[in-house]
Amino acid sequence: MLTKRLIPCLDVKDGRVVKGQQFVNLKDQGDPVEMARAYNQAGADELVFLDITATREKREIMREMVLKVAECLFIPFTVGGGIAGIEDFRSLISAGADKISINSAAVRTPGLISRAAERFGSQAVVVAIDGRRRNSGGWKVLISGGTEETGLELVDWAQEAQERGAGELLLTSMDRDGSRDGYDLEMLKAVNQAVSIPVIASGGAGSPEHLYQAFAEGKADAALAASIWHQDIYSIKECKNYLAERGIPVRPVGEESGEEKEEKEEETLEEKNDGRE
């Protein structure tokens, strides 16, 4: 059956990973290619590279990074941060990114969602939404890294993004982000009831239990996290084992011990399929 995805998010500045796990076996901790490979081997199902480069002049560096990563990483990866228009989509997708995530630009120019979906397919368009809880109930949408109000109601905006052609939503709780107190499950549930596209939970993961809650209660399709894995508090494998023990379907870790490895000997002709699913 379809498995729930665990997605580490890596912050990238000027083409270097500035926030990611300190893998002991890596020579160059900031090298996106080495980091991507290490996460692949650790069992990540997908990766998100978030460009936190401040200046637009340095955008070309991100494209070069994507080119290098795509040459040797063969799992899906998303690139986000500072995407302004259709040309950014074209540039990064042609370099090898599978999905592009847009946040502020989608709010400012909602037509960008549909234009990108028409041109590159909905599967390539991730709309990232930063939400903050209202005292009066519901959630408001913030942009520009949480500094700017939009007047949008989160569930309405999630629905609009889907209608305009988003293939996936990356839903971040600004209240929980960095707290390690767990995802905002009510927000996840509310959005999941309103849309029929996959939803990635983000903001607040601090333990495997939080991941479990996002899937079991929040009905998320994927969970994104940073510090829980970057600071090596829990490994992806530990998290997946925890989830599997509690009945959440996950892709087993340990399949990724290296592409160059010699193949195992042929199994016997008579070996019967055990009907597993």
Partner 1 sequence: MIGVIDYGAGNLGNVARALNYLNCRTRIIGEPDVLSGIAGLVLPGVGSFASGVEGLKQRELFRPVKNYIFSGRPFLGICLGMQLLFQESRENTGLRGLGAFPGRCEKFSPGESGKVPHMGWNNLRVENKNSLLQQEDKLYLYFVHSYYLPVNPKIVLASTVYGGQRFMSAVNRERVWGLQPHPEKSGSRGLKILRNFVEVVNGDSNSSNRS
Catalytic residues: 11, 130
Q: Which is nearer to partner 1, 25 or 273 (CB)?
A: 273
Interface pick for partner 1 out of 20, 198, 206, 208 (rule CB under 8 A): 198
C-alpha 275, offset from chain centre: 32
Question: What residues from 28 to 87 belong to the interface with partner 1 (CB under 8 A)?
Answer: 40, 45, 70-72, 74-76
In the complex, least distance from residue 256 CB atom to partner 1, rounded to whole angstroms: 5
Based on the shown chain and the rule CB under 8 A, indicate whether residue 206 belongs to the binding site for partner 1.
Answer: no
φ/ψ of residue 9, rounded to 5: -110, 125
The stretch among 56-64, 176-184, 207-215, 251-259 that binds partner 1 (CB under 8 A) is 251-259
Give exposure, 138-161, as e/b (b: 16+ Cβ within 10 Å).
Answer: ebbbbbeeeeeebebbbbebbebb
Scanning the structure block, which residue is given the tokens 């767990």?
182
Q: Which of 57, 87, 262, 271 binds partner 1 (CB under 8 A)?
A: 271
Planar angle of CA 103, 45, 166, nearest 5 degrees: 30
Contact between 123 and partner 1 per CB under 8 A: yes
Q: Does 9 engage in binding with partner 1 (CB under 8 A)? A: no
Q: Which two tokens stand for residue 143?
A: 């942009």
What whole-number distance in Å separates Cα of residue 65 and Cα of residue 35? Answer: 12
- Among 202, 216, 107, 200, residue whose Cα is nearest residue 156: 107
Regarding 275 and contact with partner 1 (CB under 8 A), the answer is yes
Q: Does 247 bind partner 1 (CB under 8 A)?
A: no
CB of 221 vs partner 1, minimal distance in Å: 7
Q: Which of 134, 157, 133, 145 is nearest to 51 (CA)?
A: 145
The type of residue at 94 is S
Residue 192 CB neighbour total at 10 angstroms? 20
Q: Which stretch binds partner 1 (CB under 8 A): 80-88, 106-114, 146-154, 259-267?
A: 259-267
Residues 133-192 that bind partner 1 (CB under 8 A): 167-168
Question: Which residues in this chain contact partner 1 in the complex, by CB under 8 A?
Answer: 1-5, 40, 45, 70-72, 74-76, 93-94, 96, 98, 120-124, 167-168, 196-198, 221-222, 251-252, 255-259, 261, 263, 266-267, 269, 271, 273-277
